[in-house]
Structure 1
Amino acid sequence: MSKRAWISAIASALILCGGMAAAAAIHSEVPSRLEGKPLLAIADESKKKSLKDIIFETQKLVVMIETDDGTQGSGFLYNSEGDLITNAHVVAGAKKVKIKTADARELEGEVIGISTVTDVAVVRVDALAGTEPLQLVRDEKAEVGDEVMAVGSPLGFQNTVTTGIISGLGRSFEIEPYLYSDLYQISAPIAPGNSGGPLVDRSTGAVLGINSAGYEQGSIGFSMPISNVIDIAESWSKEPMAELPELEVSEESAVNEADAKVEEFAGYLVTHFYDSLNNADYVYAYSLLGGNWKEGTSYEKFREGYLGTLNVVIDDMHVKDSRDDKATVIAVISVDERVDGKYVLSKYQVTYEVGYENDQLKLVSGKGKAIK
């Protein structure tokens, strides 16, 4: 995986969150009655779902998008034609893109619409046609205090979920060549790779906006209301652009993550590993292990070892300076684990070595000991 990310300063702090991204759905044929008619799912606010249900259903329909030059971002399925909404800066300059779904399929997508003014684009993935899309809040706006979650692939960690609230309304700024206006300000932490992912209402699972930018310092992000861009997205779905405009994002907006030290992301990877286990996503947690670790531990053995684990909480974490492009993470964790038919609370000190393998950050090795 390339480590390129999109970043641009607003008062030396604002960044675009494109550069990496997560999940999609199951392929089926498009019924004839749906051909040529992009359908939008409208939220039914009378139905309340648990947070775990909303996370599970949303992750399946959020994908990672990657271009030939290594740029990565997020996108989400918004209609039954197999069309994804994303940010324009994620797919700028590309016609064909690679799509990675939550179930680890790699599909081909085609950019069928992209704006030169508003940071929005639509990508068509034929293999996803006929899949039920995410629900959209098309006509209403969120309010300050509404609980939300951002879904995407920050720093390439697919299926990452962060939660927060709408903390401000009507924010506006410019990051050339795009104009951003009437944005939601959110407290849900987002990072490079979240760009194009959905901002979701925690109580209904409906999409409120498109996560597009954030501040390097502090938990502040910005999301475009879906109601502001859905009309243009739908117009491209009905009539794809015959020729895409050429777009160039300022070189000042982009940095190469290879210049970043491993320890800056090592703690994030360990946290993401335990988040995956807590969500019972053993397949994805196993994918974060390095090659040598996997050779000595089969997936079946790995999964079996965590089936009795109910919840993991990181009590303390320390990241040592990197050496030879590796970093050491030492953490103290509290674990609810099943012992003799009932759950008990245990504590462990765990040590992980984190490093890059084939341009992807991995848990190269790990060990732990019980704390009494």
Structure 2
Amino acid sequence: MNWRAILVILGIFLMLGGGVIAYAELKEIVPKQLNGAPLIAVGEKNKSLKDIIFETQKYVVMIETDSGNQGSGFLYNDQGDLITNAHVVSGVRHVRVKTADARELAGEVIGISTEVDVAVVRVPELAGGGGLSLVKFEKASVGDEVLSVGSPLGLHNTVTTGIISGVGRSLQISPYTYNDLYQISTPISHGNSGGPLVDTTSGSVLGINSAGLENSSIGFSIPIVNVLPLIEGWSKEPMTMLPGISLTDDEHVSEEEKQPLDQLASYLVKHFYDAINIGDYVYAYSLLGADWQEGISYVKFRDSYIHMRNISIDDEHISLNEEEAMVTVVLSADERMEGAYKFVKQQITFRVGYDDDQLKLLSSKAKYLQ
């Protein structure tokens, strides 16, 4: 064997050896995927419960009908489709939808069952806005921690937490038959119906909150995996005929008295600070009116709030001026100054009104309090 052959063989061994070492090192670097859990990228952190709550609230709506029904629903796709309970929208084609950012939109029922308590409402103005992720293949187990979001008694975007306290439950509430339900320790009141049951670790929807025992902390939720084929079928091919409603029905939602402006304005200001507290500055910026956004770039807006945390509203006063509301709040917060957080109090007055038919924060004035 000549020296060239020896060098070639030696090079092959070195390459193979280096590959084995590199593979061994790579196995040490790459984290193992335990129990099918998704890998977390370097620098990424698990979402906190506050993060999950706020992200969920953005996609949950209040639904009202001309027949007096009131409930909840949640956005699940890019077509502007909301999942809700059939009993919330039964007997009507058109509904009113109130979003987390205080918009009032029109929706149309595109799918509804007379046996299973589930329906789909399409809101064209919500198309392209994404939606909540759904648990499409697995079911929850007893002991799993969950949260419910809805509008019990008309209290928009109310959150309750609890656990899955039972599985496989069955109920009969005419005309609907409920099978294989989750029993949950989050109470379901009038107005909660149709809201999402959310896994607190992933933020994905496990079920549709549908019924509750009166004066009890026991509720029941339809597993989303059980009705997903029905829901997706309606989204792909909307029903042309709804039970008890003809295709040519000229029914339209009547113009009834809207929710008072002072209540909507108060809600919008609180929702704005919820976004700031959770660090969702892009969403908070979207709540500003066009003139305010023209006067401040997103980067400057973010920089003005990024040094503040734990903002709470201690006091609030609202006055109305024609079609606008002046909302004055006294805030407590921790503000970063000279490298350390200090407790501060501020008084801020927001001018709130409609901008292109959407309620927005039009301007604000702030001052520090002693």
TM-score after normalising by structure 1: 0.56
Alignment of 1:214-253 (within 5 A): 224-226=221-223, 230-235=225-230, 237=232, 243-247=239-243
Is contact 1:151-1:199 (8 Å) kept? no
1:86 aligned onto 2:83: yes
Structure 2 counterpart SS, 1:245: coil
The amino acid across from 1:290 in the alignment is G
**1:365 aligns to what SS in structure 2?**
strand
Q: Residue 162 in 1 paired to residue 159 in 2?
A: yes
Cα deviation, residue 308, structure 1: 1.6
| Gap change, CA 1:123 and 1:267, over 3 Å in 2 | closer
* 1:118-159 Cα distance to aligned partner (Å, 9 max, x none): 34235899x99xx9943358544666x95514289xx9x9xx
Paired-residue identity, % = 33
Helix, strand or coil: the match of 1:312?
A: strand
Which amino acid in 2 is paired with 1:284? Y
- Structure 1: gaps spanning 5 or more residues: 1-41, 103-108
Distance 1:337 1:353 in 2: 24
Matched AA of 1:363: L
Higher relative contact order (CA 8 A, sep 6+): 1
User: In 2, distance between residues paired with 1:188 and 1:327?
Assistant: 34
Report the Cα offset of residue 294 of structure 1. Answer: 2.5
1:277 offset after TM fit, Å? 0.8
Give yes or no for contact 2:60–2:150 (8 Å, CA) kept in 1: no
Distance in 1 separating the partners of 2:93 and 2:308: 45
Aligned to 1:31: none
Say whether residues 1:288 and 2:284 are aligned partners: no
Q: Deviations over 1:48-106 (max 9, x none)?
A: 9542586289659958799xx9x9952225xxx99966125569648xxx9x9x9xxxx
Change (3 A) 1:258 1:301: farther
- Decide whether the 8 Å contact of 1:136 with 1:206 is kept in 2: no
- Alignment partners' CA distance in 1, 2:274 and 2:357: 22
- The residue correspondences of 1:306-317 to structure 2 (distance < 5 A) are 306-314=305-313, 316-317=314-315
State the alpha-carbon separation in 2 of the partners of residues 210 and 52 from structure 1: 20
Alignment partners' CA distance in 1, 2:176 and 2:320: 37
Partner Cα separation in structure 2 for residue 351 and residue 57 of structure 1? 24
2:11 aligned partner? none
- Residue 118 of structure 2: aligned partner: 120
Match of 1:326 in 2: 324
| Paired residue total | 296
Over 3 Å counting, the alpha-carbon distance change for 1:205 and 1:230 in structure 2 is same
Contact 1:318–1:329 (Cα < 8 Å) also in 2:
yes
CA offset digits 1:166-201 (Å, max 9, x no partner): 699889797x98778968677589997x87552212
- Partner SS, residue 302 of structure 1: helix
The separation in 1 between residues aligned to 2:79 and 2:338, in whole angstroms, is 48
Which structure carries more helix by proportion?
2
Rg comparison, structure with higher value: 2
Say whether the 8 Å CA contact 2:61–2:150 is kept in structure 1.
no
* Structure 1 vs Structure 2 CA RMSD: 5.6
1:363 aligned residue: 361
Q: Which amino acid aligns with 1:318?
A: E
Please give the secondary structure, in 2, of the residue aligned with 1:118.
Answer: coil
| Cα distance change of structure 1 residues 259 and 65 upon mapping to structure 2, 3 Å threshold | closer
Gaps of 5+ in 2: 1-34, 102-107, 246-252
User: What residue in structure 1 maps to residue 277 of structure 2?
Assistant: 278
Letter in 2 for 1:245: M
